[in-house]
Every structure is written in C-alpha cells, then in structure tokens.
C-alpha cells in the first residue's frame, strides 16, 4: 500500500534536550514550584517546550534555561513556564461522594460549632483551585447548607493557584460543557446563567470567593493568608515529591485553626507524609483534622 505520508516525515519535531539540560530545567521547575518531573518524562518535556523555544528564537534548552534564570523578562517567563508544567484538569462537583460526605459531616460540624459560639463566620482555603470550579463548588455547598441563613454569615473562600491564566479564567467565571461533566443538572440550572461564552456563575455564588495567584512553594506568602477552618487541596500534591508534600502540608497545618480540617483528593493521602493530622474516616472520604 502506498502511503500519504512521506517516509521522511520525522517523529522528532523539537530541539533535543540533553540529560544535563533536562536535570537543570527539572531542578529549576522544582525549586520554583515544587513540581517534580521524573526523567521518564524527558521527551514529553522536549515537545512541550519546543514551541516556546521557537517563539523565543532560542536554539537550545541550555539557552532557554539561561533565559529563565538571567533574562530581564524572566519573571514573565516564569508564568509561561508554570502554564507549561501544570495540569489544570478540574470540574464542578468533582468527586461527589467526597463532597456529600464533607457537607454532611465536616461542614455541618463546623457550621454547628460556629453557631454555638455565636460567630457566624467561616474561612475556607482552596489551594490549587485551577480555573475556579472547586471554590465555586464550595460556595454552592454553603448556599445549599445555609440557605436563607447565609445572609447573616461572613464567609470567605480564598482560592489560589500557581497559574495566572487559571486565576484570570476563574475570575471571569464562564464555563463550557466540560466543566459540568460531574455536575447534577439542577445545580447547574440554579447557580449559573446562560452566557454568550457558556454558563456564567451567579454573582451570589461568586461573591464568597476571592482569587489570588499564589505559589504553594512560597511559605512566606502563605503565612499571610487568613487562618482557615477548612483547607481544600485536591489533586495538587500528587505532582509534588515527598519533601514538597511535607512542606505544603505543614503550611496547611499552620494555617488551620485548631479543630480545622484538611481535605485531599481521592487518590491522595497523608500516609507517609504527616502524622500531625488525625484522619477521620467517612464513607467516601478521609477528613484530616488538626486537633486542639
């Protein structure tokens, strides 16, 4: 059979990265973001960065690493680098079983506690919020739990992500079908309105959420965040190595008020990472409590 594709068509489309260059780039990414890239992903990186190198007119990865480290544009390039190394997969009501268990147990407990103490306020931190689906989902859960009473509460959901582009998108609050792949229809109908570009989150829901670009590797900035009752950090630490996991989980611990909870993604666990939290088992999730 004849072929449409010339036999000279090459599989390689990018500049070659040497092992040394890969290690330099990998270490740089790790130092800046805590994201750890295994050498097995060398070729993946080669092709992911090749477009960027071409745009910058850089002939080799060594030049790109120099650019990242010393160029006057290096701060801006860092954002681009973050875009290239992060995965932003997310959706509204992702992991419904966990969210149900969270709402029925953790959230209920905190709401009751605050009511009893006469302090109608709640701080939640969504760390690694991607394009905003997770913190908006939390705001929706609060609307569902508190209903009319919500007006009397002071609720603050702080949502941060490494990627400035994701934070911009989150602030716009307009979503396509993909964002709703795990979302019950009635939730979508009640909390979103049809918009030219898709579905827009309603202002009442958006109002509770504050977005900030922030690096979880930057312990100093994290210290400046308000103390939280609940931290959500789902499907983020899976990209970190153990040292970075410990560091970030340590920051969450410091940020949480006594009795506060940390919620991780379905496949993440503090097993081997931290024993300071007390794991509380609910069907569908583990809530990690800071005792006290």
Partner 1 sequence: MKHLDELTAGMTLASDLIASDGRLLFKSGTELEDRHLTLLKRVGVTEVDVEAGTGDLSDDQIREIEEYVRDFFLYVDPDFAPAIQLFHLALNLTANSVAEGWELPDLNQRRATNVEHMEDLFLIGMGSPDTIVKHESELTSFPDIYFRIKEVLEDESASADKIAKIVSTDMSLAAKLIKLVNSPLYGFPQTIDSVSRAVALVGAKELSTLALGISAINYFHDIPAELVDMKTFWRHSITCGIFAKLLAGTQTGLAPERFFIAGLLHDVGRLIMFKKLPYASTEAMLFARENSIPLVEAERSIMEFCHTDISEPLLASWKFPEGLSNMINFHHNPMEFPNPLEPAIIHIADNMANAVEIAQGGMYVLPGIDEEAWEISGVKPEMLEGIVEQYKEQIDIILSAFT
Got the DSSP string for the chain?
A: ---SS-TT--S--S----HHHHHHHHHHHHHHH-B---GGGHHHHHHHHHHHHHHTT-SSHHHHHHHHHH-TTHHHHHHHHHHHH------TT-SHHHHHHIIIIIIHHHHHHHHHHT--EEEEEEES-TTTHHHHHHHHHHHHHHGGGGGG-EEEEEEEES-HHHHHHHHHTEE-GGGGTT--HHHHHHHEEEETTEEEE-HHHHTTEEEEE--TT-HHHHHTSPPEEEEEE-SSGGGB-HHHHHHHHHHHHHHEEEEEEEEE-TT---TTT-SSSEEEEETTEEEEE---
Nearer to ligand SAM, 33 or 285 (CB): 33
Contact flags string 186-225 toward partner 1, x per CB under 8 A: ----------------------------------------
Residue 21 contact partner, candidates ligand SAM, partner 1, none, CB within 5 to 8 A by sort of partner: none
Which residue of 10, 57, 72, 275 would you call a contact of partner 1, by CB under 8 A?
10
Residue 97 binds partner 1 (CB under 8 A): yes
Contacts to partner 1 from residues 37-56, by CB under 8 A: 40-41, 43-44, 46-48
Residue 269 binds partner 1 (CB under 8 A): yes
Residue 1 binds partner 1 (CB under 8 A): yes
Residue 134 contact partner, candidates ligand SAM, partner 1, none, CB within 5 to 8 A by sort of partner: ligand SAM
Binding-site ranges for partner 1 (CB under 8 A)? 1-5, 7, 9-14, 16, 40-41, 43-44, 46-48, 87, 89, 95-97, 177-178, 181-182, 238, 266-269, 271-272, 284, 286
């Amino acid at each position: 059979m004849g072929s449409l594709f010339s036999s000279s068509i090459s599989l390689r489309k990018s500049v070659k990265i040497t092992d040394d260059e890969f290690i330099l780039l990998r270490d740089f990414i790790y130092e800046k973001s805590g994201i750890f890239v295994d050498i097995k992903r060398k070729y993946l990186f080669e092709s992911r960065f090749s477009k960027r190198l071409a745009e910058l007119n850089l002939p080799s990865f060594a030049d790109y690493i120099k650019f990242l480290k010393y160029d006057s544009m290096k701060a801006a390039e860092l954002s681009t680098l973050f875009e290239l190394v992060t995965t932003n997969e997310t959706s509204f009501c992702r992991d419904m079983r966990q969210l149900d268990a969270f709402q029925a147990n953790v959230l209920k407990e905190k709401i009751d506690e605050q009511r009893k103490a006469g302090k109608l306020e709640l701080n939640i931190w969504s760390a690694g919020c991607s394009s905003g689906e997770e913190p908006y989902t939390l705001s929706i859960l609060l609307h569902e739990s508190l209903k009319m009473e919500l007006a009397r509460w002071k609720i603050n959901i702080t949502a941060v992500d490494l990627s400035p582009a994701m934070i911009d998108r989150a602030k716009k609050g307009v979503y396509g079908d993909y964002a709703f792949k795990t979302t019950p229809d009635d939730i979508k109908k009640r909390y979103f309105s049809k918009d030219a570009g898709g579905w827009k989150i309603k202002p009442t829901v958006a109002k509770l959420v504050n977005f900030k670009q922030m690096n979880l590797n930057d312990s100093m900035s994290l210290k400046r965040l308000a103390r939280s009752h609940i931290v959500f950090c789902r499907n983020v630490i899976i990209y970190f190595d153990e040292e970075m996991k410990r560091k970030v989980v340590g920051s969450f611990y410091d940020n949480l008020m006594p009795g506060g909870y940390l919620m991780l993604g379905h496949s993440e666990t503090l097993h081997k990472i931290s024993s300071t939290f007390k794991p509380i088992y609910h069907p569908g999730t583990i809530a990690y409590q800071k005792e006290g």
